[in-house]
Amino acid sequence: MSENQAPSSGSGRLNTGVAHNARVWNYWIGGKDNYEVDQAVGDQVAGMFPVIRDVARADREFLGRAVRHLVENRGVRQFLDIGTGLPTLDNTHEIAQRSAPDSRIVYVDNDPIVLAHARTLLTSTREGATDYIDADVHRPETIVERASATLDLDRPVAVMMLGILNFVLDTHKAQDIVRQVLSAVPSGSYLVLTHPTTDTDLGGEGNVEAMKFWNENATPPITARTRAEVTAFFDGLEFLEPGLVSCTRWHAATDSPTTVPQFGAVALKP
Ligand SMILES: C[S@@+](CC[C@H](N)C(=O)[O-])C[C@H]1O[C@@H](n2cnc3c(N)ncnc32)[C@H](O)[C@@H]1O
């Protein structure tokens, strides 16, 4: 995308002079909705930490498996996808509605370029519904209130937080956000989460330098967390098998998935 194709900005201003996470993520998963500055930072990070492209792809594949599992085996029909990212080949509503056309999905992101592309996320089936909320994850009360226009919060909701809590730098605040959103949905709801780690058993050491570089050159600032910190997001919830694992290993499609330094898990609100 060239600068003069820049779509008009939403709540924030589209800044094509600084790399933005939604666009760099899009670059790593092979998308076209990114700028030179995003490609330069994306290449630099991938040079320091080559597994990052695998992480991005593995995260999207986890999203597909988790949504399909929840729709087909757990009867979930409502999704609140916070930190949606730029639309890509298979988005949450397309995956869910392929199996259950009456699924209702609300997307949330605060990046102006995601807002500019949001119409691609609003192509619902007639039986279902989709909506897009331009909001910051630091404002969970706003998210819940606006989501209630599309989702019936008396019925189970899968709250999806994939690659988003790593942008809430304060761990207590991040826990509080999860608690607030989960307290607004009934028993029978789910938390679907991915999160980067520096834990060595997942090969995460390289995240330290890569994230330092990111925080000096791109936006928004990011942090990784340990297994214990990520586990704490699931307080009061019941993990589905196989628990908190490298997201490649959650209901893996192959017998010998590789390990990536990105935790993934799905848990039930009892
Ligand atoms: C790493 S991408 C993940 C996208 C998608 N969930 C996935 O797993 O492929 C993180 C997304 O979170 C969004 N994001 C970052 N900080 C945010 C904030 N404070 N509020 C809302 N969205 C935010 C970014 O714009 C980006 O689209």
Ligand 1 centre and the CA of 115: distance in Å? Answer: 12
Residue nearest (by alpha carbon) to ligand 1 atom 4: 85
* Ligand 1 and 91: CB distance under 6 A: no
Q: What is the CATH number of domain 6-268?
A: 3.40.50.150
Phi first, then psi: what are they for 255, rounded to 5°? Answer: -75, -30
Say how far apart CA 256 and CA 245 lie, in whole Å. Answer: 14
- Read off the pLDDT of residues 63-113 as tens digits, 9 standing for 90 and up: 999 999 999 999 999 999 999 999 998 999 999 999 999 999 999 999 999
Cβ atoms of 259 and 248 closer than 8 Å: yes
- Read off the pLDDT of residues 218-258 as tens digits, 9 standing for 90 and up: 999 999 999 999 999 999 999 999 999 999 999 998 888 99
* Ligand 1 and 218: CB distance under 6 A: no
Q: List, in sequence order, every beta strand (DSSP E) within the chain.
A: 19-20, 78-82, 104-109, 129-134, 158-162, 190-196, 218-219, 238-239, 245-246, 262-268
Classify the phi-psi angles of 28: left when phi > 0, otherwise alpha if psi is within -120 to 50, otherwise beta: alpha
Ligand 1 centre and the CA of 255: distance in Å? Answer: 30
Name which of 163, 42, 170, 39 is nearest 109 in CA terms.
163
Q: What is the model's pTM?
A: 0.95
Report, as an integer, the average pLDDT of 193-201.
97
